[in-house]
A = this chain, B = another copy of it.
């Protein structure tokens, strides 16, 4: 039979660096090897019982389509949460509830960009941005942020080099996935000024907003200029409340043009899950802020354990991240993907091994990520400690193989 044509954009949508090696991990587990999952940002913290309880008490006889903008109570409660904690004045009309932050990002790419338009991102970048760009025909233009400089933002000059008449936005992930870098008020102002000067959007993905450590206070980019129609916030309940599987995110902006354009797209896909939205409204409303403080403390301790452990491994270069639950580290080897596969397929230490996400998938610039990996710390402290010890043994074995 003649081959039936498939699309180039699908072929160019990369395999997720987080999930592409999962088959090897499964094979290792089938052989009875314990696998430490440093590859994925899937919180192990229990989802809040208020969410489960609310789901159980949902008594509508028909699980009907929800409003395409999202459940009104959820939008209002989410607005209240941000207004209270970040001194904003959002209303439900500034929100469109999405199926995870992922869908909100695709909404933005589709509503702010036509195929061939450009969005500036910082390299390394969240791998799925690259996929959303490929799907929607939007060219992501990377500007390098260096591990050597703790992944701080590049200079204005470096960014301006990449601005063209097709540039439609700068997209920042803050706190950053995959580096854990937290950008402060000055960083946001710096980017916002560029966006003002060249007249395009500043999109800030704040899925990890609440997970900032040491004495850093969580920040929402809208705090800088709360009515600025140029700022679009991506938010998510996935990490904040360990609700990854509930698929609830939001696009938040004061820009009514963006909201009404996105609504066209949102209406076509009908709505986000109805019962989850009902339960999420109760969750945001009822959970005290102390709930998040406890989790923040736990992640901070894990970060410390991970950073201390990784500093013991000879040849690894790391920067101590201030937020999220990721760290991008550099290995003393050329091909970390090969090493990651080796760890899962050829190595084990006392019947244990570690699963890391190769850095190449987080870098748009070829070669820049080959000697790096993203480590997520969504496992408990003992496992982090032991997992890095096993990784160290694996690295020695790999170099001596």
Residue A124 CB within 8 A of the other chain: no
Residue A247 CB within 8 A of the other chain: yes
Which of A218-226, A271-279, A380-388 contacts the other chain? A271-279
Which of A12-20, A155-163, A301-309 contacts the other chain? A12-20
Residue from the list B66, B102, B246 in contact with A245, Cβ < 8 A:
B66
Please tell me if the beta carbons of A7 and B112 are within 8 angstroms of each other in the complex: yes
Please tell me if the beta carbons of A47 and B61 are within 8 angstroms of each other in the complex: yes
Please tell me if the beta carbons of B275 and A65 are within 8 angstroms of each other in the complex: no
Return chain B residues, CB-CB under 8 Å to A56. Answer: 55-56
Expressed in whole angstroms, the minimum distance between the Cβ of A130 and any Cβ of chain B is 8
Please tell me if the beta carbons of A5 and B200 are within 8 angstroms of each other in the complex: yes
Which of A76-84, A103-111, A186-194, A349-357 contacts the other chain? A103-111
Please tell me if the beta carbons of B4 and A230 are within 8 angstroms of each other in the complex: yes
Chain A, interface SS category: loop
Known: A4-B201, A45-B62. A269 touches B100 (CB 8 A): yes
Residue A392 CB within 8 A of the other chain: no
Residue A27 CB within 8 A of the other chain: no
Residue A206 CB within 8 A of the other chain: no
CA distance A270 to B4 in the complex (A): 27
CA distance A364 to B7 in the complex (A): 24
Residue from the list B46, B244, B261, B264 in contact with A270, Cβ < 8 A:
B244
Return chain B residues, CB-CB under 8 Å to A131. Answer: 264-265, 267-268
Residue A217 CB within 8 A of the other chain: no
Return chain B residues, CB-CB under 8 Å to A106. Answer: 269
Please tell me if the beta carbons of A117 and B7 are within 8 angstroms of each other in the complex: yes
Expressed in whole angstroms, the minimum distance between the Cβ of A203 and any Cβ of chain B is 12
Please tell me if the beta carbons of A246 and B264 are within 8 angstroms of each other in the complex: no
Expressed in whole angstroms, the minimum distance between the Cβ of A95 and any Cβ of chain B is 17
Known: A4-B200, A267-B131, A268-B16. A261 touches B63 (CB 8 A): no
Residue A172 CB within 8 A of the other chain: no
Please tell me if the beta carbons of A1 and B229 are within 8 angstroms of each other in the complex: yes
Please tell me if the beta carbons of B264 and A7 are within 8 angstroms of each other in the complex: no
CA distance A68 to B243 in the complex (A): 16
List 9 contacting pairs A-B, 8 Å CB cutoff, sorted by A: A4-B255, A10-B262, A42-B64, A52-B58, A56-B56, A100-B269, A135-B265, A245-B273, A246-B273
